[in-house]
Amino acid sequence: MPEIVLTQASAHLRHGSNIGQPLTRRDGVLKVTGAARFAADNHPPGMLYAVLAVSSIARGRVTFLDLQAAKAHPGVVEVMTPANKPLLAEDPDAKTNPFIFRLDVLQNDHVRYANQPIAVVIAETLEAATEGATLLFPRYETEAVRIGLEAGESFIPPGVGIGNPAETHQGDVEAGLAVASRRIDATYETAAQYHNAMEPHAIVAAWDGDSLSIDMPSQGLAMALGRVAGLFGIPPESIHIRSPFLGGGFGSKGLISGPQVLGIMAARLVGRPVKLVLRREQMFGPVGHRAPTRQTVRMGSDSDGALTAIDHHTKTASSTFDDFFEPASDISHTLYASPAISTSHEAVRLDTGTPLFMRAPGEATGSIALESAIDEMAEACGMDPLAFRLKNYAEVEPISGKPFSSKALRDCYAQGAERFGWARRPLASRQMRDDAGLLVGWGMGTATFPALMFQGQARAVVRNDGTGIVETGAHDMGQGASTALAQIAADGLGLDLDQVEFRSGTSDLPDAGIAGGSSHTATAGMAIHSAGADVIARLADLATGDERSPLFGAGNAGVIARRGRLFRRDDESRSESYAEILARAGLAEIEGRGNSAADPAAQSSYAMHAHGAVFAEVKIDPELGQIRATRLVGAFAAGRVINPRLVRSQYYGGMIWGISFALHEHAVMDPRSGRPMNPNLGEYHVPVNADVPSLEAILVEEHDSYVNALGIKGVGEIGITGTAGAVANAVWHATGIRIRQFPITLDRLIEPTP
């Protein structure tokens, strides 16, 4: 990626820290001018175009494809089917670790869900490939389709999420409910949602003998590298994956998908580079989604409003051929103090693609149910929703009893409520109207997300001209990673930002872990920080052991790295530049390596989460039921903030997604065919500018010395978890109607279901 000239925002950093500064994105100019090269922008010489033919049924088998008609179409080079596909070295249905999911790559003629790939047409032009795919005119032998949470036999899954138990119990829930003065028992339903990043899944693959070059969007380069190497039986060093930019991912690009593997297979079949890009409707099936849920929450409280029991049960779904179960009930482990907590899950198997990670998996779906239930419980107790949450504030993690590594949630409540004006909220519903006669409602929700961190690696170099290089295979899917990580890199090397070249986005760089679980800044950032510390330590060894250096003998006192120089910690008048140290040693550069991983001791001793509070205002037409979210204020505490401008952007994105969850997103499945009926951005509704209200994100100060040395928690997903519930609760406050099916649509307000 070309180096970007930074704006004036970096000028004041000449003698200060890069961390904590609200710098603009380093890749911003490239993106707004169109110079940023995404995967599908690549066109190697001799490239062909591949187009998927996908199933129009959800269950059965393909009995006929008109290959003759497709191949006869001008420009069509080949049609790849189960009969002529290149053989793979590994079974795509084998599961060798928890992050391996089964792929549909033309194993046979069986159809397991609608929009499953059944053939790949390869042609000289995109138009020819598209037209060739329409000429296949597939015929099917169909079987009865299973769609909806009542379509299959329920079972207890072996686990939920990645390795979480399906059931967890603390205390006696039934006894807690029995002694409660007030109780609720409510069921909430969330619809299936589909990843709809602006950039669809794509791949440009080119073989050179047994060497493979790939351009594709990826949130996990190292994992993709290992998966491709295994499937094609070639060493990882023979594969080069480039992914400098992603047009959004939301979890769907964390693992390599079946269509991307088909692009590599197509290139091997024809012996030429091949580009394959999914059409929008093809995103509804083979690349993951958020499964629907039905969640039953039972709560009890004593006469003072203190919770006596929480029981959170989720029914969800997975595909017929793989296992991923949305861990929605697990949100109830962490937020509210109760002497008895029980969480459980059951599941059914449906004729859909496999659900996978989707932004805040589990927390997003579970949060809207839990926060709605908390509001219902507060109403039953005659208490203000904020007062009820404070009454049941958890000083330790309820399910484990561990102390929190840090928790500034009280400050989030206080700052958010004050900014929003919550004290003016009437307790009863349907009490406020605006000048136009619209019903006005105010609601709130608590936000939380675990502070995760994975393993990562980085390499850092200081050159004899006083500049630095930092390398890690990081992923920027729009969250600003290339900017925030460069700030950490510059600080770690004690250099100004414009003196550091930051390299990321390719598989030949050190493994930066996966950009998922709101963990990327912590994971890659700590690896970068460690690599910088390693370089500085090596420089210090050179200087303090050299009698010619003014730092000689400072080993015990130590040195400080700042502005491209090392200073004696006990006497800063004695210093030396990196360039001088390297020149005297006769070195062109000095290199350091860094690793990152969560501290097992800290994880076993502390509960680690980010927290927040979101306050929402909605306005509703009392006759039409039309809902508008008009104002959102979120206050979030997520440890150390590397770049407040980028962090606010992530909070805004999460809050907008929360509006989408509560009011818009809903994949409609045809129960007869199993096909998605709204697989496009015209009918699968996500918020547009007119739907997005005034947004404000407050960055609440929080220090955490346990999550990692930099004190970083993630911010990418937490904004969803409080917002969806806040909007739903505001709808009740405006109308007095409690809708428990999401998204909340106007028909449900006009004719509410029981």
- CA–CA gap between residue 544 and residue 551 (Å, rounded): 5
- CA–CA gap between residue 647 and residue 715 (Å, rounded): 7
* Together in a domain, 31 and 47: no
pLDDT (0 to 100) of residue 693 = 84
* Together in a domain, 460 and 584: yes
Asked whether 502 and 459 are in contact (CB, 8 A), the reply is no
- CA–CA gap between residue 568 and residue 3 (Å, rounded): 33
Beta strands 202-208 and 741-742, pairing class: unpaired
The residue annotated as part of the active site, out of 153, 580, 717, 751, is: 717
List strands edge to edge, sheet with 341-350: 168-170, 341-350, 307-319, 293-301, 182-190, 741-742
Distance in Å from the first CA to the final CA of the chain: 56
pLDDT (0 to 100) of residue 754 = 52
Owning domain of residue 132: 40-143+201-277
Q: What are the phi and psi torsion angles at 670 (to 5°)?
A: -75, 115
Q: Is residue 151 part of a domain?
A: no
User: Bridge partners of 741?
Assistant: 189
- CA–CA gap between residue 658 and residue 189 (Å, rounded): 15
Asked whether 307 and 300 are in contact (CB, 8 A), the reply is yes
* Together in a domain, 250 and 127: yes
Asked whether 633 and 722 are in contact (CB, 8 A), the reply is no
Q: What is the domain count for the chain?
A: 3
Q: Is residue 184 part of a domain?
A: no
* Together in a domain, 486 and 578: yes
pLDDT (0 to 100) of residue 149 = 97
The amino acid present at 363, given as its one-letter code, is E
Could you count the other beta carbons within 10 Å of the beta carbon of residue 603? 16
Beta strands 239-242 and 211-215, pairing class: parallel
Could you count the other beta carbons within 10 Å of the beta carbon of residue 645? 16
- CA–CA gap between residue 384 and residue 375 (Å, rounded): 9
What is the model's pTM? 0.95
* Together in a domain, 306 and 356: yes
Q: Hey, what are 395's tokens?
A: 């000083």
pLDDT (0 to 100) of residue 555 = 80
Q: Is residue 732 part of a domain?
A: yes
Helix (H, G, I), strand (E, B) or coil at 232: helix
Alpha-helix residue ranges (DSSP H) falling in 321-470? 363-380, 385-391, 409-420
Domain's final residue, options 248, 277, 306: 277
Q: Is residue 704 part of a domain?
A: yes
Q: Name 65's Cβ contacts closer than 8 Å, sequence gap at least 6.
A: 53, 79, 81, 118, 119, 136, 137, 138
* Together in a domain, 415 and 466: no
- CA–CA gap between residue 162 and residue 101 (Å, rounded): 12
Helix (H, G, I), strand (E, B) or coil at 240: strand
Nearest CA to 722 out of 210, 451, 363 is that of 363
* Together in a domain, 545 and 624: no
Asked whether 359 and 720 are in contact (CB, 8 A), the reply is yes
CATH of the domain at 496: 3.30.365.10
- CA–CA gap between residue 704 and residue 599 (Å, rounded): 13
Asked whether 411 and 694 are in contact (CB, 8 A), the reply is no
Helix (H, G, I), strand (E, B) or coil at 297: strand
Q: Is residue 65 part of a domain?
A: yes
pLDDT (0 to 100) of residue 14 = 36
In whole angstroms, what separates CA 6 from the centre of its chain?
28
* Together in a domain, 23 and 108: no
* Together in a domain, 562 and 659: no
* Together in a domain, 390 and 412: yes
* Together in a domain, 528 and 635: no
* Together in a domain, 138 and 210: yes
Cα–Cα distances (Å) from 183 to 178, 384, 588, in that order, read 9, 17, 72
How much is the CA Rg of the chain, to the nearest whole Å?
27
Residue range 668-701, pLDDT digits in tens: 999 999 999 999 999 999 999 999 889 999 999 9
Peptide bond into 398 cis (omega under 30): no
- CA–CA gap between residue 233 and residue 310 (Å, rounded): 50
Helix (H, G, I), strand (E, B) or coil at 190: strand
pLDDT (0 to 100) of residue 752 = 55
Q: Hey, what are 135's tokens?
A: 């000429």
Q: Hey, what are 694's tokens?
A: 């005034």
Residues of the chain where predicted confidence (pLDDT) is lower than 50: 1-15
Residue range 565-581, pLDDT digits in tens: 999 999 999 999 999 99
Q: Hey, what are 25's tokens?
A: 């994105």
Q: What are the phi and psi torsion angles at 479 (to 5°)?
A: -80, -10
Cα–Cα distances (Å) from 347 to 117, 319, 746, in that order, read 26, 10, 29
Q: Is residue 183 part of a domain?
A: no
CATH of the domain at 44: 3.90.1170.50
Domain's final residue, options 569, 597, 625: 597
Helix (H, G, I), strand (E, B) or coil at 441: strand
Residue labelled with tokens 């928890």: 98
Q: Is residue 625 part of a domain?
A: yes
Domain's final residue, options 532, 562, 597: 597
Q: Name 542's Cβ contacts closer than 8 Å, sequence gap at least 6.
A: 549, 581, 582, 585, 590
The one-character DSSP state at 27 is T
418 is catalytic: no
Q: Is residue 3 part of a domain?
A: no
Nearest CA to 67 out of 119, 142, 124 is that of 119
